[in-house]
Amino acid sequence: MDGSHETKYVFVTGGVVSSLGKGIATSSIGALLRTRGYRVTAVKIDPYINVDAGTMRPYEHGEVFVTEDGAETDLDIGTYERFLDIDLGRSNNVTTGQVYQAVIQKERQGVYLSQTVQVIPHVTDEIKARIYQAGEESNAEIVLVEVGGTVGDIESLPFLEAIRQVRFEVGRDRTLYLHVTLLPYLGSSEEYKTKPTQHSVATLRGVGIQPDGLILRSRSALPPEARSKIALFTNVEVDAVFSAYDADHVYAVPEMLEQQGIAKLLERHLKLERVTPELRVWHEAVRVLRQPEASVNIGVVGKYVAMPDAYLSLMEALKHAGIANRARVDIDWVSAEAVADGDLDQLSAFDGVLVPGGFGVRGIEGKVRAARFAREEGVPFLGICLGLQVAVIDYARHVAGLEGANSTEFDPYTPHPVIDLMPEQLEVDGMGGTMRLGSWPMRVSPGTLLAELYAGRLEAAAVAGHPSTVFERHRHRYEVNPAYVDALKAAGLVVGGVTPGMEGRGGGLVEAVELSDHPFFLGVQSHPEFTSRLMRPSPPFTGFIRAAVARRRGDAVAAVPA
C-alpha cells in the first residue's frame, strides 16, 4: 500500500503507434497542474530490459538525459523537468531491468524465502513500490506515471497489471487513467479513422483498465462527430475525449489541452480544488516563438545529425535562449564528417557555431575544424563537453604549437594528450553508470565571460553560502589534462571555471575555457542544456544566442550586457 493516503495518481498509456508524443501530453498535464500550484512529480516507465538509458544508442533511442543525482535516463525525464520546472532523479525512471534486478537480488537474499517468485505478485509489487516511492520522496500531491511503449506489447504487460492494481489498492478517486492514441487520417475518404483507437481501448480493457479519458493525436483539431463516436465506442465520456492535434510548438500543447478542459476532468475525477492556472509564461513563450523580433541561424556540428531527438535538450535550451532574446533560433545540422572533408563554406553562413557533446572518434577532425573556424573568424562559438575538448585540441595544435595534440579517446598514442582520461576513470571496468555523472560544482573566476554569464546565479550562490560556485550536470570520462593547463594558459586560453577541491590537478579540473579577444567563444565541460528551462534559460546558451543576434545585426562587439 502507498505511504500517504492523499497522493493521487494519473496514469498515461499509449496505443496504436509509438512516438505519439505521450511524453509531451504527460508533461503538459503536469504543467497545467503545476500552474495551479499543485506539488507534482512524474515517473516514466520504460519496459525495456536495460537498467537505464545510458548504454543505448542516441541515434535510435534519442538523447540520454542526466539528472541532478547522476542518473542516465530516458529523454522524457528531460521533458518533464522542462514542463514541470522541477528537478527529478533516479527514482523517476523505472525500467524492467531495474525491477528484475531488484526482485532477483531479493530472491538471492532470501527475502521471499520458501515462495515461488512470480510476475504477479512479486514483480508487480516491486513496480508499485517504485511508483509509491516516487510520490513519497518528492512529497507530491499528484504523481503522473507514463507507461512507455504501446498497449499490446509483451513487455508492458506487468506494468499495466501493476497500474491496474494501484486503483484496486488506493481507490477510484485517487487514480485516473488516460490513454493516448493516434487517429489516422484517410485522404481518400477525408475522415479520421477511429477503429485502431477502439481496438487499443479494447486491449486495455482486456487487462482490466477502462480509460477515464482519451487524448487523440491527429493532424488537425478533431471534428465533434468523431469525438462523440469515439466516446460511444470506447465507453469514455464525451467531455473526457481530448484532441491533441499537431501544434506549431510543443509549448503550445498545455494551452491546447487547457482550452478543452482537461484540467476539469482531473479536478472532477480526483476531487481536486478548482484553481485558476497561471499560464502567463507559457502564453509569452508561444507568443515570442510565433512572432520573434529577430532570427539567427545556428550550425550544430555533430554526429547524429539525422536524428534531432539525439540532441533534444540542446534544441530546447537553444529555444529557451532564443525566447529570452526574443529571437527565433533556426538550427542547421552540419555533419562533422563533411566538415572534416573540407566543407567549411557552409560554416560561414551561420550566426553561431555549436559543437555538442559526443563520444567516439567519428567526425572528430570536423569538429576541431569547426572550433578553429569559429575562433579564427570571430563567429560566436559554444562547445559543450566534447565541444570544449575539441576547442582545446584546436587551441593546443594551432596556437600553443603542440603539434599532433589530441584526446587519448581518439588517439591513444598522441604526442600531446591535452585531453585525457580522468584518473578515477582508470579503475572503472563496467560501462553502465560509470562516467562522471550528475551535478558538480564549478568555481567561476572573476572578470571572465563565464562570470558575466552566470552573474545572477553567482549572486544567489553567495547568498546561499557557496560564493563563486555554480552547479551544472556532467556526463564524461575525459578532462583537460592538468599537465597541459599552464602551457595552454600561457598561449592565451582563459580558464573561466574549475572544479573546486581538485586544486592538485593543474589548479583544478578545467570546467570552462574562453577567449578574451573574441565576440563569444566558450567551451564548458558540463551539459548546461539539461538544466535549461523556459522560465530559467541556461546562461551559456542565453549569452551565445545574444552574441549570435548581435552578429546577425552586424554589431561590432556582441557578447554580454553590462
**Interface residue list for ligand GLN (CB under 6 A):** 357-359, 385-386, 409, 475-478
CA–CA separation, 235 and 268 (whole Å): 18
317/385 with CB nearer ligand GLN: 385
CB of 409 to ligand GLN, least distance (A): 5
357/540 with CB nearer ligand GLN: 357
CB of 435 to ligand GLN, least distance (A): 7
3-state secondary structure of 374: helix
34/476 with CB nearer ligand GLN: 476
Q: Which three cell numbers stand for residue 101?
A: 534486478
CB of 481 to ligand GLN, least distance (A): 12
Is 179 among the catalytic positions?
A: no
Contact 205, 15 (CB under 8 A): no
Is 529 among the catalytic positions?
A: yes
146/409 with CB nearer ligand GLN: 409
CA distances from 541 to 162, 332, 384, 521 (A): 41, 16, 10, 12
Is 72 among the catalytic positions?
A: no
Total Cβ atoms within 10 A of residue 86? 18
How many Cα neighbours within 13 Å face the side chain of 386? 24
CA 260, distance to chain mean position in Å, is 27
CB of 192 to ligand GLN, least distance (A): 42
Evaluated on CA atoms 385, 387, 393, 399, the torsion sign reads negative
- CA angle (321, 144, 471) in 5-degree steps: 40
- Which of 126, 365, 472, 529 is labelled catalytic? 529
Single-letter residue type at 157: L
CB of 440 to ligand GLN, least distance (A): 13
According to DSSP, the residues that pair with 182 across neighbouring strands are: 217
278/424 with CB nearer ligand GLN: 424
425/468 with CB nearer ligand GLN: 425
According to DSSP, the residues that pair with 524 across neighbouring strands are: 384, 512
3-state secondary structure of 428: coil
CA–CA separation, 198 and 175 (whole Å): 22
- Which of 385, 416, 476, 518 is labelled catalytic? 385
CB of 497 to ligand GLN, least distance (A): 16
- Which of 179, 320, 518, 527 is labelled catalytic? 527
The residues assigned a catalytic role are 385, 527, 529
